């Protein structure tokens, strides 16, 4: 579907947090293949951890308004050379957010039953860190730092620009769903992939989470 067709998209009612929490608190069902890449994917630096105080996120520029609902089409993270198409994803058979097909290493997924990037609330984009052939779209996610930007193109022709204010890795067994997915009252984005320790038997034991807030649009 092309940007000119954006008029067919009707704003979706936001999902109650309680429903979303039940889906997400156990973490994401991301690829657990893993590959033998020396040192593995980069892990977040301690200095990149999010400041959970209200002052920790960048202020929303004066006059910046949230965008209406429109599906996401592409994500760009210039600092790690990501420029990837986005597909809609829902839930898998276990009730977790479904990852994009692992066969395509340069493909991200937007959780279509939640918030659209740029809307008020927290939008979620996921992707694989690797597949059986090697690094995938979000392999470099753990190397991101505060102040860097993420751009999400939408099918209405708009682009939402987000500023990163935290990068963290969490254990899948103790995933802080309320902190990660909670509505801050502003247009926010979470970009998530696998991370932490890895074993052939169980795959990755954690998720890398990037926290970002919208600071512009065009």
Q: Check whether 19 has a pLDDT greater than 60.
A: no
pLDDT over 60 at 55, yes or no: no
| 20: three-class secondary structure by DSSP | helix
Predicted TM-score of the model (pTM): 0.81
Report how far residue 100's alpha carbon sits from residue 106's, in angstroms, rounded to the nearest whole number.
10
Q: Where are the domains of the chain?
A: 15-51+69-217
pLDDT in tens, 59-97: 888 889 999 999 999 999 999 999 999 999 998 887 778
What gap in Å lies between CA 181 and CA 176, rounded to an integer? 9
Using DSSP's 3-state secondary structure scheme, residue 64 falls into: coil
Q: Name the token pair of 144.
A: 């991101």
Mean pLDDT of the chain: 82
Q: What is the pLDDT of residues 145-167, one digit of tens each?
A: 999 999 999 999 999 999 999 99
At the fourth CATH level, which superfamily is domain 15-51+69-217? Sortase (2.40.260.10)
3-class secondary structure, 89: strand
């Amino acid at each position: 579907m092309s940007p000119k067709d954006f008029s067919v998209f009707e704003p979706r009612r936001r999902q109650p947090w309680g429903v979303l929490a039940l889906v997400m608190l156990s973490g994401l069902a991301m690829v657990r293949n893993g590959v033998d890449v020396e040192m593995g994917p980069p892990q977040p630096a301690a200095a990149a951890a999010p400041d959970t105080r209200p002052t920790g996120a960048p202020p929303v520029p004066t006059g910046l308004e949230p965008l209406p609902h429109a599906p996401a089409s592409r994500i760009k993270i210039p600092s790690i050379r990501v420029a990837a198409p986005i597909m809609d994803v829902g839930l898998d058979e276990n009730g977790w957010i479904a990852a994009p097909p692992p066969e395509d290493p340069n493909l991200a997924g937007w959780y279509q039953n939640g918030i659209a990037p740029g809307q008020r609330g927290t939008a979620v984009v996921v992707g694989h860190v690797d597949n059986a052939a090697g690094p995938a779209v979000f392999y470099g996610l753990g190397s991101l730092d505060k102040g860097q930007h993420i751009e999400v193109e939408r099918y209405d022709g708009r682009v939402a620009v987000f500023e990163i204010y935290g990068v963290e890795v969490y254990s899948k067994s103790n995933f802080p769903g309320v902190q990660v997915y909670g509505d801050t009252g502003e247009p926010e984005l979470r970009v998530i992939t696998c991370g932490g320790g890895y074993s052939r038997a169980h795959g990755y034991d954690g998720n890398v989470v990037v926290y970002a807030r919208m600071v512009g649009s065009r």
